[in-house]
Amino acid sequence: MKRTRPVGTITRGTTAPNRLRRVDRWLVGTHGGLLRAAAESPLIVDLGYGAYPITTVELDARLRVVRPEIQTIGLEIDPARVTAALGYVRAGLDFRLGGFELPVDRAPTVIRAFNVLRQYDESEVAEVWRALAARLASRGLLIEGTCSENGRVATWVALDGTGPLTLTLAGHLASLESPAVFAERLPKALIHRNVPGEPIHAFLQALERAWQTAAPIGDLGVRQRWIAAVRSLLPQWPIIGRANRWRLGEVTVAWSAIAPRDGVRD
């Protein structure tokens, strides 16, 4: 494999145990079949894992429950971070120097890129998406998103070789005061589009109204309130998934319904 200079910009590197638990749980619960159906050992790439490799180690452990023979590779463009991660190398788990060029020898089934694009310009997102999605295995999935430092608020876009498919919002319900908290953690493609006239703004406003309307149900618990709020969106919004996902504090909507009017679409 020809070695090239890593492509990308070094991130702040902030990370912590369980910070990406929500997206990992969604990946296992929603796309576990993708791992089980792969003809050969699925390759999982964790792009830009940060200063401490714990979230890559956790991703490997969580997906290995679904498909024990996966191979997971954590990529970082900072050589010091790669060196620091080498103590975590084990059978099926490795760490390499690399960025958007993806220095791997076969097509990944899953690429996870979390908290990587926040420091880039919105105009750069589409090209990064296309470059990464083009490297995916057949039926492979790219998950690009962001989250709070404690992981209690997270959002991500799921893409395949055809482009973006869905947007997922996931929160820690016990500490959720309002769906408005998702606005500041939207993926780069959407965070500057949360303004009147843009579909993502309309969606967040609809979710907030639904949350407030469901307030009386809060007497039954915050989980029941969230489920009721999400269910009330069904007539107007293409919500994907069922109550078993909503009860975890998730809501997934088709990308086509919230895509920027004149920005990142594919």
What pLDDT does residue 16 have? 76
Q: Is the pLDDT of residue 185 over 60?
A: yes
What pLDDT does residue 19 have? 96
Tell me the per-residue pLDDT of 45-91, one tens digit each, with 9 for 90 and over.
999 999 899 999 999 999 999 999 999 999 999 999 999 999 999 99
Q: Indicate whether 253 belongs to any domain.
A: yes
Question: What average pLDDT is seen over the chain?
Answer: 93
What pLDDT does residue 15 have? 75
What average pLDDT does range 14-25 have in this prediction?
Answer: 90
Tell me the per-residue pLDDT of 134-161, one tens digit each, with 9 for 90 and over.
999 999 999 999 999 999 999 999 999 9
Q: Pick 145 or 11 by higher pLDDT.
A: 145
As a whole number of angstroms, the distance between CA 43 and CA 108 comes to 5
Of all residues in the chain, the percent with pLDDT exceeding 90 is 87
Q: Which amino acid is at 203?
A: F
Banded pLDDT at 263 (limits 50, 70, 90): low
Q: Is the pLDDT of residue 266 over 50?
A: no
Q: Indicate whether 265 belongs to any domain.
A: no
Q: Is the pLDDT of residue 189 over 70?
A: yes
Q: Is the pLDDT of residue 25 over 60?
A: yes
Q: Indicate whether 29 belongs to any domain.
A: yes
Q: Is the pLDDT of residue 4 over 80?
A: no
Q: Indicate whether 139 belongs to any domain.
A: yes
What pLDDT does residue 6 have? 65
As a whole number of angstroms, the distance between CA 140 and CA 44 comes to 10
How many structural domains are present in the chain?
1
Question: The domain spanning residue 55 has which CATH number?
Answer: 3.40.50.150
What average pLDDT does range 33-48 have in this prediction?
Answer: 94
As a whole number of angstroms, the distance between CA 213 and CA 243 comes to 18
Tell me the per-residue pLDDT of 101-127, one tens digit each, with 9 for 90 and over.
999 999 999 999 999 998 899 999 999
Q: Indicate whether 264 belongs to any domain.
A: no
User: Taking phi first (over 0 means left), then psi (-120 to 50 degrees means alpha), and beta for anything else, what does residue 173 get?
Assistant: alpha
Q: Indicate whether 5 belongs to any domain.
A: no
Q: Is the pLDDT of residue 176 over 90?
A: yes
Q: Indicate whether 239 belongs to any domain.
A: yes
Range of the domain at 208: 21-257
What pLDDT does residue 1 have? 44
Q: Indicate whether 58 belongs to any domain.
A: yes
